Amino acid sequence: MNKTVIVSEEALVAPVPDVTVAGSAAAAGPAYVVLAGISFSHFLNDTMQSLIASVYPILKDSYALDFAQIGMITLAFQFTASLLQPVIGHFTDKKAQPFSLAIGMGFTFLGLLLLSVAQRYSVILVAASLVGLGSAVFHPESSRIARLASGGRYGFAQSVFQLGGSFGTSMGPLLAALIVVPFGQPSIAWFSSIAFLAIVILWRIGQWYKPQIAAKRAVPIHLHPDAPSSRRVMIALGILVALLFSKQLYIASLSSYYIFYLIEKFGVSTQAAQFYLFIFLASNAAGAFFGGPLGDRFGRKYVIWFSILGALPFTLALPYAGLFASAVLTVFIGLIISSATSSIIVFAQELMPHRFGMISGVFFGFAFGIGGLGAAVLGKVADHTGIAFVYQLCALLPAIGLLAVFLPKLPKTAR
């Protein structure tokens, strides 16, 4: 049999109870309280994660690190998440763990405390790995919860979920500029209180999620006659991975080295550079939110096309722009290039609807892993050629978006 398995939307979405009301009354649409809770948790999670990149200038000066060592910190953080996310997603597909999110957040809690007191480079790498481990546990299962709470509006739910993470990522540099730069490395420990708040929220969400698991086990699987073949599904997944590669590697280049680029080229202070990074990351958050609903309405392929290729003129112009123009260009780049995130993930989930956890883990994990690997490679390149050359090279990455022409058309029941 050469057809992939498609699950009907009615079977996939179990009745969703309102967590503010006792009992298990069904809800006729998205469970907004659950979506808000999981999105806010994503915000807290990624706020803490983004602190790592935001304190690079402090760590670089304190421990005399070169760019390659900075890239290795990013790799230690993101590669841990990349390796474990698909494994955890595959495991939870078979046996869901409703309270695993709260437990995973505990690793982030420990990682932040360790980073605040680290005095050696090896300890910094261990602390970054612990934060990555927390991310590996968080993302696959929380993405599944967002889909369960979507009420059928999968792109919208994924965008709400992504909005929290993207906004949290944008807050890292701002909080680093306001707190970590003035008070130093020990102030990172203050952010462990954010991790504790996230643990409390995720424990409550786990209580909502637990009764959903029994209903999910009874989901029937139906074969759709118009579904793409298994071979086309594998090709499409490969294309989506390549698109995510182009998008995430470019974002990694800005997230890890944009501060150093601004300092080197325009002579701005570390604190001012962190505010410019915040502008880009906030635009990234806004684009991630709007991309999902647009995909629900107009089709995910069109959003993917626009997102990846649409950013190309702006990325090509960035290496040659002045300081103010660079800030404006990064706003457009962030808005456009991040709008594909939800559509790529939901498209992949619809290709393999019986493997939500594994697919979410692969794509979230790949995003983290390619960012970490790319940051390490770009750090080596920057040490030998300079930061400016890195941005001239990365400007071509959105051209990979041309591969979107080979994505298959999904049957309406999958959308």
CA 103 to chain centre: 20
pTM (2 decimals)? 0.65
Full domain range(s) for residue 281: 29-410
102-153 pLDDT per residue, tens: 888 889 899 888 988 888 888 889 988 898 888 888 887 887 888 888 777 7
pLDDT the model gives residue 367: 64
Backbone angles phi, psi at 221, to 5 degrees: -110, 125
CATH number at residue 335: 1.20.1250.20
Asked if residue 118 belongs to a domain, the reply is yes
pLDDT the model gives residue 328: 94
277-332 pLDDT per residue, tens: 888 888 887 887 787 777 777 777 888 888 878 888 999 999 899 999 999 999 99
Q: Does 92 score more than 50 pLDDT?
A: yes
pLDDT the model gives residue 217: 52
Total domains, the chain: 1
41-76 pLDDT per residue, tens: 988 888 887 777 777 878 888 888 887 888 788 778
Asked if residue 12 belongs to a domain, the reply is no
233-281 pLDDT per residue, tens: 888 888 888 888 888 888 878 877 888 889 888 998 888 888 898 888 8
Asked if residue 15 belongs to a domain, the reply is no
- Which tokens sit at 383? 């040490």
pLDDT the model gives residue 227: 64
Closest-CA residue to 45 (of 146, 166, 207, 181):
166
154-175 and 121-148 helices cross at what angle (nearest 10)?
A: 150
Asked if residue 304 belongs to a domain, the reply is yes
332-371 pLDDT per residue, tens: 998 898 888 778 888 887 888 777 777 777 777 766 666 6
Backbone angles phi, psi at 117, to 5 degrees: -115, 0
Asked if residue 4 belongs to a domain, the reply is no
Asked if residue 13 belongs to a domain, the reply is no
Q: Does 4 score more than 70 pLDDT?
A: no
Alpha-carbon gap, residue 209 to 207, rounded angstroms: 6
Asked if residue 175 belongs to a domain, the reply is yes
Handedness of CA 309, 273, 163, 202 (dihedral sign): positive
pLDDT the model gives residue 21: 34
193-210 pLDDT per residue, tens: 888 898 999 998 888 887
pLDDT the model gives residue 214: 59
pLDDT the model gives residue 277: 87
pLDDT the model gives residue 27: 43
Q: Does 5 score more than 50 pLDDT?
A: no
pLDDT the model gives residue 222: 53
Asked if residue 55 belongs to a domain, the reply is yes
CA 69 to chain centre: 23
